[in-house]
């Protein structure tokens, strides 16, 4: 799978960077965690009270989602490229942008699972600007950290507990490799997989099939009851340009997988968009990009805000690109592709349907627990 299909946004201003150090300092032993049960400063620990918005962004009420009384599954989350460190590979510092992305993309799943999110020496935004997508040594370094964190998690995982994998962009690239090498080939590991949410990263299948590209055995999710399956999509809200970063496979006989979390069986569905009310880490590159998407910024008194009426989504194969096409409902703001149309709504992938995804994780988690009885 080409690396360029698995990496997040690099804002154009970074392209002017030059003369960067080749790598970050050597990593220390063990795993540093952003989120983990019992962690004193857990970046995924948050309240769940939510302000509900109309399609136009006006508050219409509040809700207080409860956490499952007994969370018998775990979520293992790998974040996308967000690091503003000036080296090709980041170090293990828990920088503000890492804490923000964990809040935005992972914390909401705490309704249904215990969240584990390791810090890894990812290829930074500056690293992408300096070396493009061809620095395999840098990506191997990042993957080594993810693989070690997965091993540390597995050693502590209680017998019978299932795992939901969650990734976006570079995080999806890392988890796709992990699934292909560590989970897909081994029946014992596949049986512990509840589902894999691999967003914005170019997961592939054989043309007209639900598996056979990125993974030989693990299939696409086509129902809420299905276990050991993959949800994957990249969001666009306009015609997919010929040079789009996502949606097209370079591998003959394969296509990029699109599974609509609002309608796994096919067709169009209403998306439940959910965002934290806390702004993304101010002064960071991804914070800037998020601010340019055109999202509403309501002044609410809850940790989250959500809209169930602003957008619909459907998987489309038009223009030889397999993507989740987003359509705005009357009154909803039109989101802006950042930094160019070739990226689509990459920065919105994880939140445009976060309500659908968390609900799906809840259903699959209950299904998994019941299947073990």
Contacts of 16 (CB under 8 A, 6+ apart): 129
* Domain with 145 in it: 3-371
Instruction: Give pLDDT tens digits for 13-27.
Output: 333 333 333 333 344
**Residue 26 pLDDT:** 42
Please tell me the distance from the alpha carbon of residue 93 to that of residue 77, in angstroms, as a whole number: 17
Domain count, the chain: 1
SS (H, E, C) 116-159: EEECCCCECHHHHHHHCCCCHHHHHHHHHHHHHHHHHHHHHCCC
What's the pTM? 0.92
Instruction: Give pLDDT tens digits for 196-244.
Output: 999 999 999 999 999 999 999 999 999 999 999 999 999 999 999 999 9
**Residue 133 pLDDT:** 72
The three-state secondary structure class of 19 is coil
């Amino acid at each position: 799978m080409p690396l360029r299909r698995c990496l997040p946004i690099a804002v154009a201003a970074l392209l002017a960077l030059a003369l960067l150090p080749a790598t970050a300092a050597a990593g220390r032993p063990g795993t540093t965690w952003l989120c983990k049960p019992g962690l004193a400063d857990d970046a995924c620990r948050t309240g769940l009270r939510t302000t509900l918005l109309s399609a136009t962004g006006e508050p219409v009420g509040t809700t207080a989602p409860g956490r499952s009384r007994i969370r018998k599954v775990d979520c293992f989350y790998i974040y996308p490229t967000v690091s503003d460190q000036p080296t090709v590979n980041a170090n293990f510092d828990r920088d503000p942008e890492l804490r923000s992305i964990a809040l935005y993309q992972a914390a909401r799943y705490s309704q249904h699972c215990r969240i584990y999110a390791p810090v890894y020496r990812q290829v930074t935004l500056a690293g992408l600007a300096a070396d493009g997508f061809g620095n395999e040594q840098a990506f191997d370094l990042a993957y080594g950290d993810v693989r070690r964190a997965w091993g540390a998690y597995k050693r502590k995982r209680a017998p019978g507990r299932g795992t939901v994998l969650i990734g976006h962009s570079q995080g999806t690239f890392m988890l796709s490799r992990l699934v292909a090498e560590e989970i897909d080939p081994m029946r014992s590991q596949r049986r512990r997989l509840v589902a894999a949410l691999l967003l914005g990263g170019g997961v592939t299948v054989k043309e007209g099939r639900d598996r056979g590209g990125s993974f030989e055995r693990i299939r696409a999710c086509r129902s809420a009851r299905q276990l050991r399956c993959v949800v994957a999509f990249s969001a666009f809200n306009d015609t997919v340009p010929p040079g789009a970063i996502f949606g097209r496979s370079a591998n003959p006989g394969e296509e990029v997988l699109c599974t609509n979390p609002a309608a796994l069986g096919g067709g169009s569905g209403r998306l439940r968009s959910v965002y934290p009310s806390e702004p993304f880490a101010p002064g960071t590159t991804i914070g800037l990009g998020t601010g340019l998407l055109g999202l509403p910024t309501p002044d609410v008194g809850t940790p989250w805000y959500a809209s169930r009426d602003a957008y619909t989504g459907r998987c489309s194969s038009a223009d030889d690109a397999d993507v989740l096409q987003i359509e705005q409902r009357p009154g909803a703001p039109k989101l802006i592709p950042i930094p160019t149309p070739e990226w689509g709504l990459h920065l919105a992938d994880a939140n445009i349907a976060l309500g659908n995804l968390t609900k799906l994780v809840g259903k699959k988690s209950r299904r998994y627990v019941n299947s073990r009885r």
